Copies of this chain bind each other. A is one copy, B any other.
Amino acid sequence: MLNDIRKDYLLNRWVVVATHRRRRPTDFAKKEPTAQSVDKSLCPFCPGNERKTPPAVLVYLKGEKGVVKEKDTNGSRHKNWLIRCVPNLYSAFSPPRKGESFESGKAVGHHEVLIESPNHYEHPGAAKFSQLVHVINGYVDRLKVLSSKPYVEYISIFRNHGLTAGASLSHAHSQIIAMPTTPTILRDELRASKEFYEAHGKCVFCDIIEREKSGPRFIWQNESFVALAPWAGIHPFEFWIIPKRHQATLLDLKRGTVEDLAEALKICLSGLDALLNDPPYNYGFHITPSNKAADKFYHWHLEVYPKLSIWAGFEKSTGTYINVVPPEYAAQNLKHTIEKRQFND
């Protein structure tokens, strides 16, 4: 049975209501925060435990001539993989069955977990460069498959790092959610970037890069990407990674661009780790929806949100935020930390 998806009485805001896996009041009984599992024999994402997950929809294996892409079958699981992508056991969105659709109020879509490495702790800030290239290629491969489904309108690729940032399993992993509607923040960004394009004849993100690249919020760049702290970031030490070349989605990344993105992830996230002692964080890609003509005015990017504060009554009831770290100060500290580390390398 699929979950429901509901729109607010007034706001253009959607919620997936877990009608088929709902929690009971006793599930919320207070417990001490527990350390994340480090017993690798129990970790469902560690090698040897492949049967603890549903069959993988994508596995990268090391072949003689490079990476070989495979799938698991129900009866067997591939071993010696580089990355695996599996359906989420606690799926928010599920493929439609007869009579189930977004129009009928059902959360149709897909919810997958991309296991980023056989090594439990190989998070992007600490990963081998070659491993990060696999992860990004895995994102793109799943994006291609999922965006071709007729009931999928938007695909969210995100990762949670650390228990207090919502990572209930500590093995390095990302999540991919394919959903039947364009989510609130993306819809608002699309509308505003379209208005900007019509008024100024250029992409607003290209304009942001131009304005920020030599200013106090600039953090780091390579040939293809720039990292900056956004002017009105709502999280302490928030930063964005934006491709310099105008591109609406991740679908057509060239090999060199994938490598540059891997470098950007590794350098920026290891800088964040070094500056703040491996803080919890979330990241999420913002891309154009699958079936909207937004290529001219929308520009994909990655937003990284360190989890260092709590949104309380004010933030939750108003949608206005308080950021105790000015973006300029965050950028300056991240920039210096990254430069010092590169100098020491």
Contact = CB atoms under 8 A, between A and B. Distances in A.
B184 A319 contact: yes
B18 A326 contact: yes
Given A9-B204, A158-B317, A314-B177, A327 B17 contact: yes
A248 to B, nearest CB: 15
A319 B185 contact: yes
Contacts of A270: none
A61 interface: no
A320 B234 contact: no
A286 B236 CA distance: 27
Given A8-B232, A166-B313, A230-B9, A323 B16 contact: yes
Contacts of A313: 158-160, 165-166, 175, 282-284, 305
Contact of A325 (B23, B310, B319): B23
A285 B317 CA distance: 8
Contacts of A323: 15-18
A310 B316 CA distance: 13
Contacts of A325: 18, 22-23
A233 interface: yes
A261 to B, nearest CB: 17
Contacts of A6: 231-232
A193 interface: yes
Interface in A12-43: 12-19, 21-23, 25, 28-30, 33
Contacts of A324: 18, 21-23
A34 to B, nearest CB: 13
A50 interface: no
Contacts of A19: 326
Contact of A30 (B15, B175, B234, B277): B277
A137 to B, nearest CB: 20
Contacts of A7: 232
B314 A156 contact: yes
12 contacts: A10-B188, A11-B189, A15-B320, A28-B279, A33-B33, A158-B314, A160-B312, A166-B311, A166-B313, A183-B319, A282-B316, A285-B317
